[in-house]
Chain A
Amino acid sequence: DQQVKQNSPSLSVQEGRISILNCDYTNSMFDYFLWYKKYPAEGPTFLISISSIKDKNEDGRFTVFLNKSAKHLSLHIVPSQPGDSAVYFCARGTSYGKLTFGQGTILTVHP
């Protein structure tokens, strides 16, 4: 059973606008959620995380929101840049290291 779901396979936005990537989860037992970014021919790289006791975490242009009642996670990128074009994976993680990933969303930012 997929515990983390990204229902949008792709997203296209204009440079300078906001990108919103979404993720839903089905199990309430978790330590934290994370977003990873992946460029072609490279491994995923860590972007931002949020623990289960928080609702929001910011890091520069990237903000992650956690809605526990809706079991929903979102990543906001403001403003979006062409270099942000990549595949974005949300994941849930445990303190001992296990990560469970969503299917990924391909973000394309047009100049």
Chain B
Amino acid sequence: EAQVTQNPRYLITVTGKKLTVTCSQNMNHEYMSWYRQDPGLGLRQIYYSMNVEVTDKGDVPEGYKVSRKEKRNFPLILESPSPNQTSLYFCASSFITGGPYNEQFFGPGTRLTVL
């Protein structure tokens, strides 16, 4: 089954304790991206990657890191989480063809609470 998986689905942590949220896709997509969803703000892009070893900042990158060492994986790293990073996080992936829109497939989400 074609899908984007995220782990963990739920996480409660404390300020300053480093954490990683994993994202994996099995569709051989070049493009991967992380978003956070907050009430009244919709989904905002954190980081994206257009291929292996190619990453770039989205609209709200502060406090986050990413890496793309393999095509299928795109982990999101919070080196020192703070309460304002409490949010619902989504990973997404798609092909890049340079033509018409390519549908982005989203993972199920990770609910993160930083105390």
Is A34 within 8 A of B43, CB to CB? no
In the complex with contacts A42-B108, A46-B103, A101-B43 CB distance below 8 A: yes
In the complex with contacts A41-B109, A43-B4, A96-B98, A101-B104 CB distance below 8 A: no
Q: How many interface residues does A have (CB within 8 Å)?
A: 27
Is A99 within 8 A of B104, CB to CB? yes
**B102 interface residue (CB < 8 Å to A):** yes
Question: What residues of B have a CB within 8 angstroms of the CB of A44 in the complex?
Answer: 43, 90, 106
Question: What residues of A have a CB within 8 angstroms of the CB of B44 in the complex?
Answer: 101
Question: What residues of B have a CB within 8 angstroms of the CB of A100 in the complex?
Answer: 45, 59
**A51 interface residue (CB < 8 Å to B):** yes
**A25 interface residue (CB < 8 Å to B):** no
What's the least CB distance linking B110 to chain A, in Å?
A: 10
Q: How far is B42's CA from A93's CA once the two chains are assembled, in angstroms?
A: 15
Is B102 within 8 A of A97, CB to CB? yes
Question: What residues of B have a CB within 8 angstroms of the CB of A89 in the complex?
Answer: 42-43
Within 8 A of B (CB), among A1-16: 4, 6, 9
Is A103 within 8 A of B45, CB to CB? no
A-side residues, CB < 8 A to B, are 4, 6, 9, 31-32, 34, 41-46, 49, 51, 89, 91, 93, 95-104
What's the least CB distance linking B51 to chain A, in Å?
A: 11
What's the least CB distance linking A65 to chain B, in Å?
A: 17
With A44-B43, A98-B33 given, name 16 new contacts (CB 8 A).
Answer: A4-B42, A42-B109, A43-B90, A43-B92, A43-B107, A95-B99, A95-B100, A96-B50, A97-B33, A97-B94, A97-B102, A97-B104, A98-B45, A101-B35, A101-B42, A101-B44
**B74 interface residue (CB < 8 Å to A):** no
Within 8 A of A (CB), among B34-56: 35, 40-45, 48, 50
What's the least CB distance linking B112 to chain A, in Å?
A: 15
Is B108 within 8 A of A31, CB to CB? no
